[in-house]
Structures are given as C-alpha cells and as structure tokens.
Amino acid sequence: MDLTYTEEEQDFRARLRAWLTKVLPELPAKPSPDDWPGRRAYDLGWQRRLYEAGYAGLHWPVDAGGRGATPTQHLIFLEETERAGAPYVGANFVGLLHAGPTVAAEGTAEQRARWLPPVLRGDEVWCQGFSEPDAGSDLASLRTRAVRDGDDYVISGSKIWTSHAEVADWCELLVRTDPGAPKHRGISWLAMPMDAPGVSVRPLRTLAGSAEFAQVFLDEVRVPVANRVGAENDGWRVTMVTLSFERGTAFVGEVVACRRTLGELARTAKANGRWDDPVLRRRLGRLYGEFGALWRLTQWNVSEAERSAGGVPGIGGSVFKLAYSHARQELYDTAAEVLGAQCLSLEEEWTLDRLSSLSYTIAAGTSQIQRNIVAERILGLPKGR
C-alpha cells in the first residue's frame, strides 16, 4: 500500500485545516460531563457543522449519503481534527461508527433512506442493545425475546452497558426470534425506537463517576417487522458486520489521540524530572513504536474496508482491537508513573482516561474473544471443545 500523500490529498488536508482554524473558535463551551442532554446537543451541533461543510460521513459510501472520500482522506480528517482538538463523535458514536455503517451495508433502500440521513445531519442518536446481564462474553447466549405478532415483534428482556441510552432516539437491538434454534441461528437485528411504550432506562455509574452507560428494560415493547435489518434469524451474521465496524475502524480516532497523549507524556516527564528515569524513557520509546505500528495497521484496515464489498472491515480488526486495548492500558499506566501522586486525583484528565482504559480489554469483545478469532480465522487453528 502506498502511504505517501498525493497532491489532491495534500490539498484536502490544507482546506480541512483552514476550516478547522476558522470554525473551532466559534464553538460554544463544552457542557458538564454529567449533563447528558447538554452533551447530546453539543455533539450533534458539531455533527451538523461537519455535515454542512461536507465533512460528515467521509468513510460512508455515496449511495448511503456519505461523501465517498478515499481511505487516505478519511485518515487525514481524523489526524487533523484530533490535532486541532476538535470534538469527537461523542454521543453519536453508535450511529456514526456502528449502526449507520451496518444499515448502509445490510439495510434495504427504504431503511437507508429513513435512518442514515438523520445520523449524518446530527438529528438522531443511536445506542447499542447487545450485551445482557446474564450473557457475559457469550453474546450469542442472549435471552431477550421477540415474538412475532402480525406486523410487529413483541419484545421482553433487558440489555446492559447501553451507551448513551438515556439520550438516544434509536437502539440497534439483538433479540432472540427462534428460541428453539441453535443459539447463533435464532437471533435477529432490529432498530428499536427508544420512545416506544415499555422501554425504560436506568443509568449506571462508572468507576470514574460518569453515567454514560445504562441498563435498558423492555416490557412487551412493540417494534415493526419492517425495522428488522437482514432476514429473520439471520441477526448473528448482521451482528458480525456491526462488530467488524466496531473493532476494525471505530477506534481509528482514538489511535491518533493516544499518539498525541504520548507526546504530552514525554513533555510532562521532562518538566517534572521523571525523564531522568531510563526505564521510563525506554517504556515511552517502545510505546511510540507500538502506536506507530498500530497507526499503520489502522491505515491498512481502513483501506481494506473501503475495498471490500459494502465497505465492511475484515478480521484484521480483531488483531487491531487486541493490540490496541493492551497498548492503551499500558499508555495510561505509564501516565500514572509520570504523574506520580497526582494520578490519584480525579481532577486529572489522564486519571479519568486511565480508569476508562480498564474497560478496553472487555468492551467490543473481550481480549479472550479476539484471541479466539485470530486463532481460528487467521491462523487456522481448530476450535476449542
């Protein structure tokens, strides 16, 4: 793969950088971390600015409402927005990075027309209703049931770790539509309106004190059959498409952020005397090399996704997810070494990031699950009994 930039790509970078320089000072102040309605409005306001400027959905295909940009332009966008300190997707990350691309790849023309433009315009927020309290890492053992009743499914059950459920308009929901089928074959993927009767949301507070997660309870919620993406009982295959996006390309911006954090760590260590420790310097140097390699892997994964049918990332996303999760944890463990006693203060941004990093070997598929995928689908090893 050619990793150099063409003249057209350099021009794209210059125009984007000029736009960011102009528009970022015009943004309102960020709301409090606990003000989720305010954060929703802030994040969607930024998405609308991107849409109006032609930068929304760069990585989406044109027929899904995206801009059809090249993989390199997409990566340049991520580099420049992170370098400039622009807002991240925030409350809209499920719609932009998971549900939207899944609907683009698997949905009907009517479904794409209904759900994709509002995501790109910053009109609607999605959440993810996959995990369940009793399922653990075995997602296919989910128990939330959907019983067909005419043109509707009637759904009962509960979901957990549902990001931004309290401010979401839609939920990408996995349900069991055939309890008698083998567990991977009786699942369907639905788009559920969060304001439907019978949906209740209970926020969950994290170790860092925030409440971006929730448990969602479903009491005979009626969802139209027309909201099913893919065939009935084919939801596991559609879910693998969603997880391919989640593991393969959704963390791209975070790699850029981690590389920036690494530079800030080095500058802080030089300022507070920790740079004199040769062990710490070697650790920072090794992390520099590791995140550089992860960025190259990111470029490859994004390019492969763009070349594949429907823009779906391949199993290389599991390699990335596994390596990135552990590298991120080590990065913020190193930040704790640099900060010293300050790392105990929740006022420090790096402290909150360190607490958040603890979840990365669990979220979006545990590291154990990723190792199984790599072993079976890349290395060709037999499945465990």
Catalytic residue (one of 132, 166, 172, 246) = 246
The pLDDT score that the predictor gives to residue 141 is 87
pLDDT, tens only, 77-121: 888 988 888 998 888 889 998 899 899 889 999 999 999 999 999
Output the pLDDT for position 306: 58
> Phi and psi of 198, rounded to 5°?
100, -5
- The amino acid present at 202, given as its one-letter code, is R
pLDDT (tens, 9 = 90+) of the chain, 385 residues, equals 445 678 888 999 999 999 999 999 999 999 987 788 899 999 999 999 999 999 998 877 777 777 777 777 888 888 898 888 899 888 888 999 889 989 988 999 999 999 999 999 999 999 999 989 887 667 788 999 999 999 999 999 999 989 889 999 999 999 999 999 988 899 999 999 999 999 999 988 776 666 678 899 999 999 999 999 999 999 999 988 887 766 555 566 778 788 888 888 899 899 888 899 999 999 999 999 988 888 887 777 666 655 655 555 556 667 777 788 888 888 888 888 888 877 776 667 777 777 676 666 666 666 666 676 666 666 677 776 5
Let me know if 172 is a catalytic residue: no
The pLDDT of residue 73 is 85
Cβ atoms of 216 and 129 within 8 Å: the answer is yes
CA distance 100 to 57: 10
Residue 359: the pLDDT is 67
Distances (CA, A) of 215 to 203, 206, 270, 349: 6, 12, 44, 26
CA–CA distances in Å: residue 82 to residues 66, 86, 230, 307, 327? 21, 6, 35, 25, 19
CA–CA distances in Å: residue 294 to residues 113, 148, 211, 213, 257: 35, 45, 30, 28, 12
Six-digit token string for 109: 């023309």
- Helices 71-83 and 252-272: angle between axes, nearest 10 degrees: 30
d(CA 170, CA 49): 22
Which pLDDT score is estimated for 341? 75
pLDDT of 1: 45
List the one residue out of 349, 342, 381, 26 whose CA is nearest residue 208: 349
Residue 196, Cα to own-chain centre: how many angstroms? 25
Give me the phi and psi of 122, to 5 degrees please.
80, 35
User: Which helix (H) or strand (E) element contains residue 286?
Assistant: helix 278-307
> What's the distance, CA 58 to chain centroid?
16
